[in-house]
Amino acid sequence: MIINQLTIHEAHRLLETRQLSSVELTKACLERINQTEPRVRALVVITEELALRQAQKADQLIAEGDTHPLTGIPVIIKDNMCTKGIPTTCSSRMLENFVPPYDATVVEKLNGCGAVIMGKANMDEFAMGSSTEHSAFFPTHNPWDLTRVPGGSSGGSAVAVAAGETIYALGSDTGGSIRQPAGFCSVTGLKPTYGRVSRYGLVAFASSLDQIGPLTKDVADCAIVLNAIAGYDSRDSTSVPEQTPDYTQCLTADLNGLSIGVPKEYFVEGMQAEVETAMRAAINKLEELGARVEWEVSLPHTPYALAAYYIIAPSEAMANLARYDGVKYGFSYTDTDSMWEALEKTRQFGFGDEVKRRIMLGTYALSAGYYDAWYLKAQKVRTLIRQEFDQAFEKYDALVTPTSPTVPFKIGEKVDDPLQMYLSDVCTLPINIAGLPAISIPAGFADGLPIGMQIIGKPFGEETILKIAYAYEQATEWHKRRAGI
Ligand code: GLN
């Protein structure tokens, strides 16, 4: 048994029966971090002391009869979620020295479950990117091939799980940032329905699209973490006051009675042949498991999603990033007597190129004279896309697509070509535009590189997609492969 490679439910069983202590589990992960970090660079902060303290406390709680499935289990948090007393950098120079005075709701909830926080994960700066190369600090490497990207923006979180540095991680997803890195690293990643998980304490990128979700080693773990983080929060006005079910209850291996649609627009031009082959095989498997599959579903507005996203997300981002003015917090350029120069230089040195690009795009799209042509038009497209999904869900319980059109690409390959980089989220961003839940699970390999399958659900239909993902996982072995580093 390799302790750091355990899933949450496996580790929980061992903790509960006292065959393992949280301190042992935590030390195994810390040791693994020491081994692999020089090669993968998934983490921006390692909280060794805190982790060991929390592990000791968890062991005490377990001794006193605490049976929560997350008690004593190590977790890594993407570095855009506020952690009290622990740096929260968003992998940006702007927040390099920022230490929040409060915890994000999700962090508070995990701490309430007796979690062990191991550190903070590297990401594309302010979550803008698809490869984790836009981190202001260093790129993260894919454990399946160190010359390749792990996806992004939650690349650090996905790698930390895939490399066995942690038992699970949290990521955030604005246009694919949980699912695409999950696919690229062969782990499980879920983006919940918009409003399902509180965004309080998540550093905002595009507020109408952002959601926090789990990155785990299997589907059962994903359900356990979702149970812990989901639910209404009065501090997030967009969180939805809906009852949250127990997501572990829907995990059965039988898909009889479920209908699944395969939208043809997601099998895009330029898609890698191996990805398409793997998808067809995976969907056949779902059929074998009892689902009724409709292969030729059409969602004709899909091709406009990318353009709409790159108007809406930058527009919201430019408003959200206006707060970094060097006055209230974060980096501040002070070597001048001029207020305007201070403001300008703070942003010039504090933000990286991709962030500046988004701010310029958003400012342009919202400016007088262009608003109707760009922002308003994009919002109309958003409505059409959402309606199209609503119609599809009158007929199907879920939709299945590839998570990405390709396997992980080489580090450096797309970093100077924003459009190519943006295209790697072409299958994931429509889901954020419509606010739907979607999960990515391991569904094959091409020359040793991971392929992910995306399962999309109705609003608040997390149970259905978890069920489908679980059934597929139980019938396949992909999720059991571990990167050989
Ligand atoms: N890659 C997309 C972007 O750069 C999505 C990022 C995300 O989901 N945070 O905007």
Say which of 91, 131, 177, 186 is annotated catalytic: 177
Task: State phi, psi for 338 to the nearest 5 degrees.
Answer: -95, 125
| Tens digit of each residue's pLDDT (9 = 90 or more) over 107-121 | 999 999 999 999 999
CA 241 to chain CA centroid, nearest Å: 23
Take atom 5 of ligand 1 and give the residue whose Cα is closest: 175
Of residues 63, 69, 56, the one with CA closest to residue 10: 69
Q: Residue 297 corresponds to which tokens in the numbers above?
A: 């579903």
Closest atom of ligand 1 to 422 CA is: 1
* 177 is known as an active-site residue: yes
How many angstroms separate the CA atoms of 186 and 165, rounded? 15
Angle between helices 219-229 and 105-112 (to 10 degrees): 110
CA of 127 to the centre of ligand 1 (A): 6
Q: Which residues line ligand 1 (CB under 6 A)?
A: 127-130, 153, 173-177, 205, 313, 425
The verdict on whether omega for the bond into residue 153 sits within 30 degrees of 0, i.e. cis, is yes
Q: Residue 11 corresponds to which tokens in the numbers above?
A: 């580790």
CB atoms within 10 A of CB 239: 20
| Numbered ranges of CATH 3.90.1300.10 in the chain | 3-254
Strand 168-173 versus strand 188-191 pairing type: unpaired
How many angstroms separate the CA atoms of 167 and 100, rounded? 25
Say which of 78, 109, 414, 467 is annotated catalytic: 78
Q: For residue 358, what pLDDT is reported?
A: 98
CA 472 to chain CA centroid, nearest Å: 21
* 217 is known as an active-site residue: no
* 153 is known as an active-site residue: yes
CA of 3 to the centre of ligand 1 (A): 33
Q: Residue 285 corresponds to which tokens in the numbers above?
A: 């498997």
Q: For residue 129, what pLDDT is reported?
A: 98
Q: For residue 272, what pLDDT is reported?
A: 95
Start-to-end CA distance of the chain, whole Å, equals: 17
Our mutation pick for probing the ligand 1 site, out of 80, 132, 177, counting the most ligand atoms within 8 A of Cβ, is: 177
DSSP state of 401: E
Sign of CA dihedral 393, 467, 185, 78: positive
Which strand ranges, in their side-by-side order, compose the sheet holding 292-297? 43-46, 116-121, 74-78, 168-173, 211-216, 188-191, 438-446, 449-457, 398-402, 259-263, 292-297
Assign domain 3-254 to its CATH architecture: Alpha-Beta Complex (3.90)
Which of 30-51 are b and which e, b meaning 16 or more Cβ less than 10 Å from the residue's Cβ? bebbeebbeebbbbbbbbeebb
How many angstroms separate the CA atoms of 164 and 4, rounded? 6
Closest atom of ligand 1 to 176 CA is: 8
Asked whether 479 and 175 are in contact (CB, 8 A), the reply is: no
Residues of the chain where predicted confidence (pLDDT) is lower than 70: none
Q: For residue 329, what pLDDT is reported?
A: 85
Give 3-state DSSP helix, strand, coil % of the chain, rounded to 5: 45, 15, 40
| Tens digit of each residue's pLDDT (9 = 90 or more) over 192-249 | 999 999 999 999 999 999 999 999 999 999 999 999 999 999 999 999 998 899 999 9
Q: For residue 450, what pLDDT is reported?
A: 98
Q: For residue 270, what pLDDT is reported?
A: 84
